[in-house]
Chains A and B, each alone.
Chain A
Amino acid sequence: MMALENIVIQQGAFRLEDINLHVPTGAYAVLMGKTGCGKTTLLELFCGLRKAASGNVILRGEDVTRLPPGARSIGYVPQDHVLFPRMTVAEQLGFAPKIQKWKKEDIRQRVAELSERLGIQHLLDRTPQFLSGGESQRVALGRALAVRPSILCLDEPLSALDEDTHDDLMNLLKSLQESEDLTLFHITHSRREADRLATQRIELTDGTLQSEETHHVD
């Protein structure tokens, strides 16, 4: 599960207060709201990339408010994917396991497994400048999932993709949620994405969160 308790955020003139949110384990939460309303701020709060003025961040039942990002076991896919420009796809996928000191053989196996799962085996030797938008998105997903986090945060992951690629990736996200046993927190402006993916829809309007569980039908 993921939760925010009594969060207050202050960034210059921008302020969010009394933010409470609960996303149950296994949910696909989709957060929507106008540009600049603070959606990315909330996502970064979960990832540990931003500090709240007060309040608590809870992940898997544990208060992680003071934990650094790397200690939160959370996958993060930022807007525009932000792949490491000088690393090959294989190096991007193996980056987190290498940092977390996995054995070389385990890293090799995980890279092979992920690349097959994401359909990017043929791209392993390429660097990001030779990838299309959809391919980059798959690599960013693989990089975030490499050390098997149980929570995945996605910041507008499907924007600027053509319709077919968009549909393929929505299907991939849904199947990854099941195969990797994930709880997802996904920011989007697309009602279509929310309708297709969400089991929990969250709206951030004028600093207030409204959450609604939906019954998703495939």
Chain B
Amino acid sequence: MILALLLSLTLRGVFRPGEMLGFLNSPPIRYALALSLGSSALTAVLSVVFAVPIGYFMSRFRFPGKAFIDALLDIPIVLPPMVVGLGLLLFFMTPIGKGIEEHVRVTNAIPSVVLAQLTVAAAFAVRMMRSVFERVDPRLEQVALTLGCSRGQAFFQVILPEVAPGMLAAWSLSWARAIGEFGPVLLFAGATRYRTEVLPSTIYLELAIGNLNGALAVSLLMVAVSFIVLMLIRAGGGMRGAMG
């Protein structure tokens, strides 16, 4: 499909590889690429850090209000992306948000990019880790307890190695979600060059000024980067291990 698109665009004179390479090598695009890769990797790590305890807790324990908490955790998945961004923006206008900003600059800075990506990506990671934990036999922990483990030891020495492939899969799912995140990032972090501009924002900005060739170059770059990263993870067995 991509080859057919490139062929069609080449014939129409839109796809000009030399010009595209020059565009991709320009400092603002290199910055956007670095920010996209860095923020997505950090977002994916943070997503897994949240998803492991929450997914474990939701899969193992019953408590009053569990259905409500469950629905709450899924809200970022079903909300329109713009609403997520608007929600974050409004939150940082509240006294709590302003209090946070007194210590750490969030809005219109790199942390806002990570936070916008994290809000959605973490929800996917939690959903995935929960289903991974549900597939682990709880009797493994019971046996570990009878062998002298504390609950913490049983979790870290027996359960965590079991779900390690699932964690890698959750990381890659979060990463893929984060690198393509556009709506919440644009609304909450903006698209300031050399500050909060990520690759999806670049595509939008280049299209807005009629630079189809530039938008196409960045799109192809994103396809290539995503493909390489996901292939590397697949080669490591992460997705296969988690999906069975």
Please tell me which stretch of B43-51, B149-157, B179-187 contacts chain A, meaning at least 4 of its Cβ atoms lie within 8 angstroms of it.
B149-157
Which residues of B, 11-34, contact A by the 8 Å Cβ criterion? Answer: none
User: What residue of chain B has the Cβ atom nearest to residue A95's Cβ?
Assistant: B147
Are B148 and A70 within 8 A (Cβ)?
yes
Name the residue among B145, B146, B161, B162 with the largest chain A CB count within 10 angstroms.
B146
Are B145 and A49 within 8 A (Cβ)?
yes
Partner of A99, one of B137, B149, B162: B149
Q: Does B176 contact A (CB under 8 A)?
A: no
Also in contact, A147 and B148, with CB within 8 A (given A82-B140, A84-B140): yes
Are B140 and A100 within 8 A (Cβ)?
no
| Minimum CB–CB distance for A67 against chain B, Å | 11
Complex CA distance for A49 and B158, rounded to whole angstroms: 17
* Complex interface: chain A residues within 8 A of B8 (CB): none
Complex CA distance for A69 and B149, rounded to whole angstroms: 9
Which residues of A, 71-85, contact B by the 8 Å Cβ criterion? Answer: 72, 74-76, 78, 82, 84-85
* Complex interface: chain A residues within 8 A of B157 (CB): 95, 99
Are A48 and B145 within 8 A (Cβ)?
yes
Q: Does B143 contact A (CB under 8 A)?
A: yes
Complex CA distance for A75 and B161, rounded to whole angstroms: 23
Complex CA distance for A140 and B137, rounded to whole angstroms: 16
Bitwise interface map of B from 117 to 153 toward A, beta carbon under 8 Å scored 1, else 0: 0000000000000000000010110111111111001
Are A99 and B142 within 8 A (Cβ)?
no
* Complex interface: chain A residues within 8 A of B161 (CB): 86
Partner of A82, one of B137, B148, B153: B137
Complex CA distance for A44 and B139, rounded to whole angstroms: 11
| Minimum CB–CB distance for B81 against chain A, Å | 38
Q: Does A47 contact B (CB under 8 A)?
A: yes
Complex CA distance for A96 and B146, rounded to whole angstroms: 9
Are A84 and B158 within 8 A (Cβ)?
yes
| Minimum CB–CB distance for A107 against chain B, Å | 13
Interface bin, chain B: 10 to 19
Are A69 and B146 within 8 A (Cβ)?
yes
Complex CA distance for A48 and B145, rounded to whole angstroms: 9
| Minimum CB–CB distance for A110 against chain B, Å | 13
Complex CA distance for A146 and B143, rounded to whole angstroms: 13
* Complex interface: chain B residues within 8 A of A47 (CB): 142, 146
| Minimum CB–CB distance for A2 against chain B, Å | 14
| Minimum CB–CB distance for A74 against chain B, Å | 6
Complex CA distance for A140 and B153, rounded to whole angstroms: 19
Complex CA distance for A85 and B165, rounded to whole angstroms: 13
Complex CA distance for A124 and B145, rounded to whole angstroms: 23
User: What residue of chain A has the Cβ atom nearest to residue B147's Cβ?
Assistant: A96
Complex CA distance for A78 and B145, rounded to whole angstroms: 13
Are A96 and B148 within 8 A (Cβ)?
yes
Are A99 and B148 within 8 A (Cβ)?
yes
Which residues of B, 159-174, contact A by the 8 Å Cβ criterion? Answer: 161-162
User: What residue of chain A has the Cβ atom nearest to residue B143's Cβ?
Assistant: A82
Are A76 and B140 within 8 A (Cβ)?
no
Also in contact, A70 and B149, with CB within 8 A (given A49-B142, A76-B143): yes
* Complex interface: chain A residues within 8 A of B153 (CB): 99
Q: Does A39 contact B (CB under 8 A)?
A: no
Are B139 and A99 within 8 A (Cβ)?
no
User: What residue of chain B has the Cβ atom nearest to residue A78's Cβ?
Assistant: B139
Are B145 and A69 within 8 A (Cβ)?
yes
Partner of B145, one of A68, A100, A144: A68
| Minimum CB–CB distance for B156 against chain A, Å | 11
Chain A to chain B contacts (Cβ below 8 Å), 11 pairs: A48-B146, A49-B142, A69-B142, A70-B145, A70-B149, A78-B143, A84-B144, A95-B157, A143-B143, A143-B147, A144-B147
Chain B interface (Cβ < 8 Å from any Cβ of A)? 137, 139-140, 142-150, 153, 157-158, 161-162
